[in-house]
Amino acid sequence: MYKWIIIGGGIHGCTIATFLLKSGKVKKDELLIIDPYPVPLYKWKTITSKIGMDYLRSPSVHHLDPAPFSLQKYARDNKVTAPFIGRFKRPSLSLFNAHCEALFAETDLYSCWFRAKVENLAPGKKKWMVHTTNGRLEAKRVVLAIGMNTQPSYPAWAEELAKSNPHRIHHIFDDDLQSIREMPPSFGIVGGGISSIHTAVHLCNVHNEKVKLIKRHPFRVHDFDSDPGWLGPKYLTSFRKENDLNIRRKMITQARHRGSMPRNLFMKAKRLYGRGQLEVITDEISGVRAAGSYIDIRLKENQSQKVSSVILTTGAASRHPIHDWLTHMPKCTSCGFPIINKNLEWENGLHVSGPLAELEIGPVSRNIAGARKTAEIITALAN
């Protein structure tokens, strides 16, 4: 029986694993990370590489190592060129990923990797039974770190197109394409947040054709996806004092700058627009029709747009993140999220991370900062 099983080997699962291993409280043969992908951070790496993301949005102290300045030290020690940008020292994606790999090698995290999908979870006497596609495993404590990036949000019109013309539409969270360059130009990007601009910049760099970006709202410019006051007592004190979880949910919704981007990316989009490489349309899509080699995107206010491929940057489905195999678990709020205690425990010995932990961690819960907060809480419980 393992001491800890972490379900999900993305940013969250791997942050928790490195914190546990580096604390010395958990040995590598006492820990297992279960994930269907062949390597750690598979979803993170494929999505960010597909959209051509060059720098992270978060600052240099948000990474997977418990030591806050570890990423800056790694950049110095390895003489990395252009490691950070801006006053928040946002790290380059290549630096961030190389630092993760160095951490995984240092802790031998790879030896804790178990490739399988979890299909069920059942409580036993002071243990949990984890049923996977590759057999049954047992652990004293389990952490659910399954994220949202396996749940792409498809608008209704897109679902129909995906059925009739699957090669012409792609959500950046889908696994079917490693590179959007495999799709035929011209491109229509749907979505108005940070991923849509990364994708637009990437496509404008590799194709000569004009890229169209269709979004529902004006560009929203914010440094981060919530105010940094949510990282500490400024806002978290009153959040945690609030016992009504529905009010906490409202506080999270209000705090999030959904569909926003930092100024440097907004300026990039403006430059592409100025050079005539990017066409920006703010409107609602009312439907699509595949006509020969084109897709006709019908809009409510503007004339319809013809493109060859549609790329959705519409994020994760906003429905609650409880997968089918977890629906038998009790204690959920009306918004469908687990009711957890301060140790992020849903049931005795069953902990949660990411979206599942946001009623305790707050609006940053899904981010790297949230992964670090969760990892600190979980590591403090380990013995």
Pattern 322-361, ligand FAD, x by CB under 6 A: --------------------------------x-------
Count of residues interacting with ligand FAD (CB under 6 A): 35
Task: Based on the shown chain and the rule CB under 6 A, indicate whether residue 16 belongs to the binding site for ligand FAD.
Answer: no
CB of 165 to ligand FAD, least distance (A): 25
| Region for residue 135 given its phi and psi (left: phi exceeds 0; alpha: psi -120 to 50; beta: otherwise) | left
Q: Give yes or no for residue 88 binding ligand FAD (CB under 6 A).
A: no
User: Using the rule CB under 6 A, which residue among 2, 6, 13, 340 binds ligand FAD?
Assistant: 13
Please, which residues have CB within 8 angstroms of residue 94's CB and are 6 or more apart in sequence?
none
58 is a site residue for ligand FAD (CB under 6 A):
yes
**Quick one: which of 231, 192, 189 has its CA closest to 210?**
189
Select from 95, 146, 203, 322 the one that contacts ligand FAD (CB under 6 A).
146
Phi/psi at 341 (5° precision): -95, -175
- Cβ distance 146 to 119 under 8 Å? no
Question: Which residue in the set 49, 94, 97, 150 belongs to the binding site for ligand FAD (CB under 6 A)?
Answer: 150
Q: Could you give the angle at which helices 263-274 and 194-206 cross, rounded to 10 degrees?
A: 40
140: tokens are 């004293």
Q: How far is the CB of 311 from ligand FAD (least distance, A)?
A: 13
**Triad 306, 214, 225: Cα angle to 5°:** 155
Q: Which of 2, 5, 6, 10 binds ligand FAD (CB under 6 A)?
A: 10
Binding mask 36-55 for ligand FAD (x = CB under 6 A): xx----xxx--xx--x-x--
Position 35 contacts ligand FAD (CB under 6 A): yes
Which is closer to ligand FAD, CB of 57 or CB of 305?
57
56 binds ligand FAD (CB under 6 A): yes
Structure tokens at 144: 């659910």
Minimum CB distance to ligand FAD smaller for 145 or for 251: 145
Instruction: Note whether 23 binds ligand FAD by CB under 6 A.
Output: no
Measure Cα distances from 309 to 31, 185, 202, 259, 293 in Å. 43, 6, 15, 22, 9
Cβ 290 vs Cβ 308: under 8 Å: no
Ranges of beta strands (E only) in 208-302 are 211-215, 220-221, 260-261, 278-282, 285-291, 294-299
Helix 93-107 vs helix 11-23: crossing angle, to nearest 10: 40
Rounded Cα distance between 49 and 202, Å, is 10
What values do phi and psi take at 306, rounded to 5? Answer: -105, 130
Per-residue binding string, ligand FAD, 104-143, x by CB under 6 A, is -------------xx-------------------------
> Rule CB under 6 A: is residue 60 a binding residue for ligand FAD?
no
Which residues bind to ligand FAD, rule: CB under 6 A? Answer: 7-13, 34-37, 42-44, 47-48, 51, 53, 56-58, 62, 117-118, 145-147, 149-150, 195, 354, 366-369
